[in-house]
Amino acid sequence: MSSLDDILKSRRDTRHFTTDEVPDEVMQKALQAGHWAPSVGLTDATRYYIIKSTEVKTAIKNLFLDYNKKAEELTDNPEQKELYRSLKLEAIEEAPIGLIIAYDRSVLNQFTIGTVGSNEAVKFSSVCAAQNIWLSLTEQGYGMGWVSILNYYQFKKILDLPENIEPLGYFCVGKPATNYNNQPMLQQLNWKQKSEAPTCSEIQNVNESSILETNTAISSKNNVLPDFSKLLQEKIDSKTKPLGALGTLETLAFQIATVFETLNPKITNPNIVVFAADHGIANHGVSDYPQDVTRQMVNNFLDGGAAINVFCNQNNIELSIVDSGVNYDFPTNAKLINAKIAKGTQSFLHIPAMSESEVQLCFDKGKTIVENIAKTGSNCIGFGEMGIGNTSTASVLMSLLTGFPIENCVGKGTGVSDEKLLQKQNLLKKAIDNYSDQAELMSQLAYFGGFEILQMAGGMLSAYNNKMLILVDGFICTTAFLIASKINPNIKENAVFCHCSAEQAHQKLLDYLDAKPILNLDLRLGEGTGCAIAFPILKSAEAFLNEMASFESAGVSRK
C-alpha cells in the first residue's frame, strides 16, 4: 500500500481510461470510503448513482459537448481555445463506470445543528465523500475524473433525478490509460501551473464593524436649508397653473428635487434591480407554483421575455438581475449579478430560515450592488423581486414588525384558492407560534427572512446614503422597505411607492407606513413591474418642474 502522501501527490485528473472492467468489490470499497467521510450534523445526505448504460453515457457526453462550447467562449486566448476544442472528454464513454455523487437537499427540512450557519455545509460534506472515494480508488490502482462542465438542470432532467437531489457532477471511474508524465493535464499543456505550496494567511484581528450598525448611523436630509425648500415650493407654485392643480405630480417634483438637492433635478441612468431567491417554506405548498419556477423566471428575465423586460425597454430603464439565493447553479457567463447566499433558505416552520451571519451578508451584498449601480451615474433605482414562496415570508415579517395578526397579512400570492389560502394562514400562524426567540429585529430576520428581501432592504439603505430616488414595487418590496425603515426611518424621504397591489395586505402595510402609492392597477406580478409602469409619471413630474413656463416668463396673470 502506498503512503498517504504518495497518493495525494499522485493525484491526477484522469481523462483517459483502459477498457478494463472495475470489479464490484473495488467500487464497494470506494463507496464505503465515501460513506465514512465527515457528514455535517450527521445528515448522511450524500447519495450515489452508478451508470454503466452506453445510452446514458452518450446522452451525458452530448450534454457536455453542448455546454463545452459555452465554456470555450470564456477564454480570449487563441491557444487556450484550440486546446479546449481538443478536449472532447472521451472518458465519459470510455470509462467502464459513471458515478454521480450528489447530496439530498431535503435533509434541510429537518433541524440539523451543523447547517444553521450555512445550507452549503451539506454540499461540502459530499465533497469530502468524493475525496475519500478518489483516495480509495487511487490506492486500489484505479482513477476517477470529475466532469463539472454541464448544464446541471438538463443533467438532472435526462437522468430523472428527484428535485431534491443536487449532483456535484459526473465522475468517470476506471483504470487510468496515462499518468500525463506525472503532472496534472492542464499543467502538462502549459494552461496553468499549480503552486508549489498552499496559500495560508493568519487572521489576527476582529473586524468590529457591523452592516446594521453602519446603517443606523442615520443621516437625515432634514438639514436641507429652509431657503431651498422655500425656493423649490415657489418654483412649483409659480408654474402656469392653479396652486396644487398638478396634484401628486407636484408632490413628486418637490420630493425628486429635495432628494437630488437641486432646483433643476434630472433622473439619470434609472435602473430596476430584480432580486431572486428561493424559500424553504415553499416546500409546504404555500404556492400554486413549484419552486423551480424561480429559476425558470430568472432565465426568462435573462432572455428578455418577462413583463419587466418589456416595461424597462419601453421606458429606457436599465434592468439588473440578481441571484440572491436561487436553488440552481446558473452559468458563470450569464448576465447575472451573483449574490447567492445559499440555494434557498431553510423552512422556518420549525427552524430558522438563515443564520444571523447570513442576515449581515444579505445587507452587505445588497449595499454593494446598489453602490456599484450608483457609480454608473444612476440616481434612481427601482426594486423588484422573484421567489416562489416569498409572499409567505413577507407576510410573517409584516406581522412581526407591525403587530398585525397574521390573518391580516396573508394574501393569495400567485393566486391560490380560498381553501389553500386558509391552509397558508394556518401554516404561517403555526410557524409564528413555534418561534420562541427574542422580539429583536436581527433574530426575527434570521428566523423568517428571505435572501432577496433582506438584500433589497440593504440596497434601499445604500440607495438612501447615495442620495438616490428609491422606487418601491409591491407587497414584498414594501416589506423590504419596512425592514429598512426600522433601521433608518429617514429612508422614507427618498421612497416613491409606485403602486398598491392586489395583494390584500399591501394596502394595510402602506397605511402603516403612511405611504401614498402613485397607481392602483390591481397588479400582483412583482418583478419591479409597478416601478417601471410608474416611471413615466416621475418623468412627467421632472419635466413640468424643469420645462413648464412660469407666470412671469409666460406673461400670464396670477390669480
Domain end, chosen from 174, 189, 204, is at 189
Angle at 341 between CA 340 and CA 342, to 5 degrees: 95
Lowest model confidence (mean pLDDT) among 132-136, 305-309, 468-472: 132-136
The C-alpha atoms of residue 213 and residue 438 are separated, in whole angstroms, by: 19
How many structural domains does the chain have?
Answer: 2
CATH number at residue 421: 3.40.50.10210
Same-domain pairing of 145 and 294 = no
Long-range contacts of 323-326 (CB under 8 A, 24+ apart): 323/276, 323/277, 323/298, 324/275, 324/276, 324/277, 324/362, 324/365, 324/451, 324/452, 324/455, 325/277, 325/278, 325/450, 325/451, 325/452, 326/276, 326/277, 326/278, 326/294, 326/295, 326/298, 326/387
The C-alpha atoms of residue 200 and residue 205 are separated, in whole angstroms, by: 16
Where does the pLDDT of residue 214 fall: very low under 50, low under 70, confident under 90, or very high at 90 and above?
A: very low
The domain containing residue 468 runs over which residues? Answer: 268-535
Confidence at residue 421, expressed as pLDDT on a 0 to 100 scale: 82
Residue 549 lies in a domain: no
> What are the grid coordinates assigned to 85, written together?
476544442
Is a pLDDT exceeding 70 seen at residue 483? yes
Residue 214 lies in a domain: no
263 backbone dihedrals φ, ψ, rounded to 5°: -75, -10
Domain end, chosen from 189, 217, 247, is at 189
pLDDT in tens, 510-555: 999 999 999 999 998 899 999 999 999 999 999 999 999 988 877 7
527 is an active site residue: yes
The C-alpha atoms of residue 323 and residue 301 are separated, in whole angstroms, by: 12
Asked if residues 99 and 46 have their Cβ atoms less than 8 Å apart, the reply is: no
CATH number at residue 132: 3.40.109.10
Domain end, chosen from 135, 169, 189, is at 189
In 3D, which of 419, 388, 421 has the Cα closest to residue 407? 421
What value does the CA radius of gyration of the chain take, rounded to a whole number of Å? 28
- The DSSP element (H or E) to which 166 belongs, if any, is strand 165-174
Same-domain pairing of 168 and 300 = no
Mean pLDDT of the 37-64 span: 87
Asked if residues 425 and 407 have their Cβ atoms less than 8 Å apart, the reply is: yes
Residue 498 lies in a domain: yes
Which residues pair with residue 146 across a beta bridge?
A: 171
- The DSSP element (H or E) to which 385 belongs, if any, is strand 380-386
Q: Which of 527, 542, 547, 552 is catalytic?
A: 527
Same-domain pairing of 280 and 180 = no
| Amino acid (1-letter code) at residue 369 | I
Separation in Å, CA 207 to CA 212, 463, 502: 14, 24, 44
Confidence at residue 365, expressed as pLDDT on a 0 to 100 scale: 96
Q: Torsion angle, CA of 308/310/312/315, rounded to 10 degrees? A: -140
Burial 525-538 (b: 16+ CB within 10 A, else e): bbbbbbbbbbbebb
Same-domain pairing of 421 and 521 = yes
SS3 557: coil
Where does the pLDDT of residue 65 fall: very low under 50, low under 70, confident under 90, or very high at 90 and above?
A: confident
Where does the pLDDT of residue 434 fall: very low under 50, low under 70, confident under 90, or very high at 90 and above?
A: confident
